[in-house]
Chains A and B, each alone.
Chain A
């Protein structure tokens, strides 16, 4: 090696070290700064999320609340709960007072289509993001996350119609409360399918008020009149425990196809599908809904341009059909106690 090349070599090395130092090869030791996360954390930290369900104390609302906390609490978000306990007036008052208290986000579970509609618009005008869950109002806010009730009615009815092939073609419908939008939408889904199947006779279509005892009474009477009934479309698994009990008492479990829907909590869904009480339970998987809401809230709070009311979109829940085939599989159902534990309650 000549002396020239030696010098050249040393020079190149020096230049290399200098270049490396300036262009951040040292990052191998200190790491690389991600330019967006600090703003994201700042956007979320200290913000308040207010939740107005129709009532706490049942698997759906408890699950959403726990799921939101699990996802968002680590970012320093504060949570506020207003529980109207099935009282629509109290709910409207809660929403009204929240509009003046100005949380960053309101998560709203509507009791019906109309009551909160104007209030939610006012909230978004006042600069509060409104995320609606499972029961939408006539006003479409920044985001709606929830089940498509029409789809639930259609898929449940299709399953019942299929099960009825070659049988009596007599079916019964056990509705929820007539005033509830979820019940009315589901009924529309049922009608959509029945319009295509004139061979099906609906021998009974009655409202059981989401009440298991009433559902049982109605189903018992219907089964006595029509022991050859081939299927029942139920509107909520929490109520259809009663429907299933009536079918079981009549000794018709397995002969009468019972399709229903619910939040997929294991005690109310998978366990009952396993015992044969329900043949199909369409689950709108509450933890997934909660995670989707949380994701939407993160996006809304950290967005630069999505001002409240400026963007509107829907995230209809992808349903999990629970049958005997998957009722045992992990991940089909969820456990409220565990979710609450994960949320730190």
Chain B
């Protein structure tokens, strides 16, 4: 007999729909195309980061160093251009650093077998410290004339749709294609679901884990460039902010279980939409800072509790350093 089971994805969708309807009915000026576009634009960088995190979480890990990858290589682009290097060569250097950083993360986790939580926690602090100590002169790296035109990445719009939304959509498509249509994608699910079983069936589990972290770092770097372009500067101190929790919130809220092997791009989109609607609604209501944090905290707690009920831990899925 098939029992009726509701997935977290469906719960989140229902919550999102309810919230959306509530805001549309009770908040004047919420349901306008201009506001919906602003809503999406405000969470597009968060959404792109969510996709990077999703790849790692589906693969059974977690990447706390994502914000360092977002802050440091793009910050370096702005700094190098300020110092007179060309924009294109600076971007090449930035992506090279991001790839190298992902390789180090991946090697630590796949070959040195350090739990992902600790490995990325440490490597993130290392990269952020490296940036602060040697790469940047001031924490907020400012725009310079050499960056002219690059701000289109964050501030232009195509047919009325702001660029960051288009870039988020493009990243969604690319990640969805990778996860659902390629062999590598299937391997990521297999490794995340049961690493030992994946290994027995002949999947190159270690290279696949390295791949996850490289992809995450590269996507993080890309998100950083979009962020820098949209605020005309790179506030590298963002590493010290709570952004990483928001990213985890998007992923977990969307229904990608932290035990790995489940979920996909749709979940990230759902999580991002829910957060976006929440933030936008609270801003329109002009709620105080403390109240906003309270609401965010309660929602994250509810999501984590729901995750534990729907994807219960067992000996098979529990892992060292699990959060």
Contacts and interface: CB of A to CB of B under 8 A. Distances in A.
Interface in A303-326: none
Given A86-B237, A86-B240, A206-B283, A220 B41 contact: yes
Question: Could you tell me the dominant secondary structure of chain A's interface residues?
Answer: helix
B132 A245 contact: no
A117 interface: no
Name, among A206, A211, A213, A238, the residue most crowded by chain B CB atoms within 10 Å (CB to CB).
Answer: A213
A222 B283 contact: yes
Interface stretch (B51-59, B172-180, B224-232, B262-270): B224-232
Given A204-B286, A248-B155, A209 B42 contact: no
Contacts of B28: 225
Contacts of A204: 283, 286
Contact of A216 (B29, B231, B286, B288): B231
Name, among B154, B162, B235, the residue most crowded by chain A CB atoms within 10 Å (CB to CB).
Answer: B235
Contact of A58 (B41, B45, B140): B140
Given A86-B237, A86-B240, A249-B162, A241 B231 contact: yes
A213 B242 CA distance: 13
Interface in B123-167: 132, 136-140, 142, 144, 154-155, 162
Interface stretch (B31-39, B205-213, B253-261): B31-39
B237 to A, nearest CB: 7
Interface in A225-271: 225, 238, 241-242, 244-245, 248-249, 267-268
A242 B286 CA distance: 19
A57 B42 contact: no
B240 A220 contact: no
Contacts of B142: 267-268
Contacts of A244: 232
A12 to B, nearest CB: 71
A217 interface: yes
Given A216-B231, A220-B38, A225-B35, A209 B241 contact: yes
B290 interface: yes
B128 to A, nearest CB: 10
Contact of A178 (B38, B42, B235, B290): B290
Interface in B215-257: 227, 230-233, 235, 237-238, 240-241
A6 B48 CA distance: 106
A222 B227 CA distance: 20
A64 to B, nearest CB: 13
State which size class the interface on A falls in: 35 or more
A100 to B, nearest CB: 27
B168 to A, nearest CB: 14
Name, among B140, B162, B238, the residue most crowded by chain A CB atoms within 10 Å (CB to CB).
Answer: B140
A221 B140 contact: no
Interface residues of B, number: 39
Interface in A187-228: 203-207, 209, 211-213, 216-218, 220-222, 224-225
B310 interface: no
Contacts of A225: 28-29, 35, 284
Name, among A58, A178, A224, the residue most crowded by chain B CB atoms within 10 Å (CB to CB).
Answer: A224
A285 interface: no
B279 interface: yes
Contacts of A58: 138-140, 237
A300 to B, nearest CB: 30
Contact of A57 (B41, B139, B289): B139
Nearest to B242: A209
Contacts of B45: 213
A336 B138 contact: yes
A245 B229 CA distance: 10
Given A205-B286, A245-B231, A249-B155, A224 B32 contact: yes
A212 B140 CA distance: 10
Nearest to A177: B289
B8 interface: no
Contacts of B171: none
B105 interface: no
Contact of A211 (B138, B241, B290): B241
Given A218-B283, A241-B231, 13 more contacts: A55-B139, A57-B132, A57-B136, A86-B237, A178-B289, A211-B235, A212-B235, A216-B42, A216-B231, A217-B283, A238-B235, A245-B230, A245-B232
19 contacts: A55-B139, A58-B139, A59-B138, A85-B132, A86-B237, A178-B290, A204-B283, A206-B283, A211-B235, A212-B140, A213-B45, A221-B38, A221-B39, A221-B42, A221-B283, A224-B32, A225-B35, A241-B232, A268-B142
- The 7 A-B pairs with the shortest beta carbon distances in the complex, nearest first, are A217-B42, A207-B289, A57-B139, A212-B231, A267-B142, A221-B283, A242-B231
Interface of B: 28-29, 32, 34-35, 38-39, 41-42, 45, 132, 136-140, 142, 144, 154-155, 162, 227, 230-233, 235, 237-238, 240-241, 279-280, 283-284, 286, 288-290
Interface of A: 55, 57-59, 62, 85-86, 178, 203-207, 209, 211-213, 216-218, 220-222, 224-225, 238, 241-242, 244-245, 248-249, 267-268, 336-337
